[in-house]
A and B are shown apart, each in its own frame.
Chain A
Amino acid sequence: MKSLEELKAIREKMQGQVGIRKESDTQTRVVVGMATCGIASGARPVLVALSDAVQKKGLSNVAVIQTGCIGLCQFEPIIEVLEPGKEKVTYVKVTPEKALEIVDQHLVRGQVIGEYTISNTIN
């Protein structure tokens, strides 16, 4: 290593990974239902896709967290996006592809994808 740029490259590569190890009140939390119902309907690949995308894009203020049964097993895989000071958004029947869209639209640009939300599915 002979330059600051090389150091910076390693730092940026690692920051996404080491950045996972912190907690703060201002973090956006993306919660994935990972009970038996969730896993059976394919929550694992969704969780992995979300987590990878968030780290790759360096969204240091987003934590992808798993939780147990959310209680709407027929709509699994379910993910909830909790932004501080905003209302909870619940996405249902999520696939890894939809998850990536959610990252791009919702987490990066702040636009809720109404089509995938629970209110759109139930009503």
Chain B
Amino acid sequence: MYRSHVLVCGGTGCNSSGSQTIMKTLQAEIEKVGLENEVAVVQTGCHGLCALGPIMLIYPEGTFYSMVKNEDVSEIVAEHLLKGRPVSRLVYSETSKDGKVKPLSETTFYKKQHRIALRNCGVIDPENIDEYIGRNGYEALGKVLTGMTPEQVISIVLDSGLRGRGGAGFPTGRKWSLAKDLVKGGQKYVCCNADEGDPGAFMDRSVLEGDPHVVLEAMAIAGYAIGASQGYIYVRAEYPIAVTRLNIAIEQARNYGLLGKNIFDSGFDFDIELRLGAGAFVCGEETALMTSIEGKRGEPRPRPPFPAEKGLFQKPTILNNVETYANVPQIILNGSDWFKSMGTEKSKGTKVFALGGKVMNTGLVEIPMGTTLREVVEEIGGGIPNGKKFKAAQTGGPSGGCIPQEHFDIEIDYENLLSIGSMMGSGGLIVMDEDNCMVDIAKFFLGFTVEESCGKCTPCRIGTKRMYEILDKITKGQGTMDDLDKLEKLCYHIKENSLCGLGQTAPNPVLSTLHYFKDEYLAHVVDKKCPAGVCKDLLTYVIDPVKCIGCTLCAKVCPAGAITGTLKEVHKINPDICVKCGACMEKCKKGAISKR
């Protein structure tokens, strides 16, 4: 038995800031002072506060150390673990205000969060099935297999109001009941969509890395509900830690008989295999994903027939997203009323968001549906750095839209986001401030869809390319009013005529910025200016002759040699040579250089 547990975050975020080295040093230092039988070092999944990584939590005190460096480890061991004196300079400042230690749950980052899908992330060792069981793991599967009929399982899920967390928000229970009843008996499949592809989104990765067993347990429950004996998890190969931990988890579950034949002596067989995706965005679309599992090129096919009738290998199949599955065992254990008590009228429970962009606390947050965007950005996210103003939040990645300042107080749920031209999406939430050009943002996402379009249908393959060309023209100051009309028409054409969700939603970033930020488009087209100062072709850097003292710093730093002038004389920028890198502006101590 250990008197103290040191939890080190082993999620991808903290991993890349060096948590593996820290773990090794920690173990060595603990052995050096002879505490190896008293103090346990546990590698966990993501805690959410990725901006402050590497993160270390020491229990039972609950001390939260942030931005720990390898050099700090020996001090933590000698002071905290040996002598019981927390190293105050490393304690997350929010937990140690006014000299008193506040529990983590009371900090602004965690206070408004409610963790269901992430309940074990950052708490358990994802590579140890016993720890998952210690947190009531596999209890829901046991309850289902020993005391419930498939109908009862589906009715709880249906009644809970759980909807697909992958983006579209289809009721999970309906999906299950269709797969159970459309075709009676025979081979059926349960699939998990772990092909998280939105730029900036990492919710599913964190669940897989921090709590892989919850996905396995939920898939087995789904298998029992619809009558399937085989599951597939389609996970991208770019998530190596998630893949490793999933493999370990599957192996452990098989050894315990929680996957395999005759689980809990109920006669129910279920096993799971992994399929690695090569990182094509379109494979997150359900029909393309299943085609890819079959070993063919990942291309979507028309629906109907829907997967519930003819899915993987032409058999009835359900496909749910990682986060959707992560909610299921808790719903079975706590009942549908418990789940329904959270959220809004039509969107129940919580949603995980990957908070990124211009916000202080970038990381992973799980909030009850109905939380306002303002609360997420200003309170949980800690506001926008450098005193800049909020301009927009982008949700739903390349399929979603931008939410402007005027909707800052919107309560986040499926319907509300759709009503303002965005969407829930899988949960990427990118915050933008006044320095972001909305035309440039739209162009960025279009560039992504052009790259990722599979090419099977014409509207998406050619249409998105044409849209990108128009946007490119506009950002270069060559756009006309006619282009804006064409762009909008093209948007609706592509939306209506594309084969799959990728093309049907690809114009959303353009449509929503055209709607809310028309003035920025007009500025680019009519005035040939980029108000945010992002589009290089529309910028000129100028030196204010009154402020310039002729220090020559700017001329020295200019990589293109575009600045002329001698000591103590006013300098000048030659716009024909200037590459608009902004180096001179950064260097000038007098603030004499500005961009227009």
B-contacting residues of A (Cβ < 8 Å)? 1-4, 7, 10-11, 13-25, 32-36, 39, 44, 47-48, 50-52, 55-56, 63-68
* Docked complex Cα distance between A113 and B38 (Å): 27
Please tell me which one of the listed residues B83, B85, B131, B139 contacts residue A7 in the complex, with CB atoms under 8 A apart: B139
> Is B497 positioned at the interface, with any CB of A under 8 Å from its CB?
no
Chain B 107-148, CB-CB to A under 8 Å as 1, else 0, gives 000000000000000011000001101111111001000100
Please tell me which one of the listed residues B57, B134, B258 contacts residue A18 in the complex, with CB atoms under 8 A apart: B134
Q: A18, B139: Cβ atoms under 8 Å?
A: no
Q: B60, A63: Cβ atoms under 8 Å?
A: yes
Please tell me which one of the listed residues A15, A36, A47, A64 contacts residue B134 in the complex, with CB atoms under 8 A apart: A15
**Could you write out 16 A-B pairs with CB less than 8 Å apart?**
A3-B265, A10-B134, A14-B131, A14-B133, A17-B131, A18-B124, A20-B60, A21-B59, A22-B59, A39-B83, A47-B3, A51-B38, A56-B1, A66-B84, A67-B84, A68-B85
* Docked complex Cα distance between A113 and B3 (Å): 23
Q: B3, A2: Cβ atoms under 8 Å?
A: no
Q: B138, A51: Cβ atoms under 8 Å?
A: no
Minimal Cβ-Cβ distance residue in A for B123: A21
Q: How many residues does chain B have at the interface if contact means C-beta atoms less than 8 Å apart?
A: 38
* Docked complex Cα distance between A52 and B1 (Å): 6
Minimal Cβ-Cβ distance residue in A for B253: A1
Q: B142, A4: Cβ atoms under 8 Å?
A: yes
* Docked complex Cα distance between A75 and B325 (Å): 55
Known contacts A23-B104, A48-B38: does B1 contact A17 (CB below 8 Å)? yes
> Is B82 positioned at the interface, with any CB of A under 8 Å from its CB?
yes
Contacts across chains A and B counted by CB atoms under 8 Å: 106
* Docked complex Cα distance between A4 and B133 (Å): 12
Task: Report chain A residues within 8 Å CB of B85.
Answer: 35, 67-68
Q: B146, A32: Cβ atoms under 8 Å?
A: no
* Docked complex Cα distance between A64 and B130 (Å): 23
Please tell me which one of the listed residues A10, A19, A44, A55 contacts residue B130 in the complex, with CB atoms under 8 A apart: A10
* Docked complex Cα distance between A17 and B7 (Å): 13
Minimal Cβ-Cβ distance residue in B for A66: B84
* Docked complex Cα distance between A112 and B149 (Å): 51
CB distance from A47 to the nearest CB of B (A): 6
Task: Report chain B residues within 8 Å CB of A4.
Answer: 142, 146, 264
Q: B60, A7: Cβ atoms under 8 Å?
A: no
* Docked complex Cα distance between A34 and B81 (Å): 9
Known contacts A1-B258, A2-B257, A66-B84: does B131 contact A51 (CB below 8 Å)? no
* Docked complex Cα distance between A34 and B3 (Å): 13
Please tell me which one of the listed residues A22, A24, A64 contacts residue B3 in the complex, with CB atoms under 8 A apart: A64
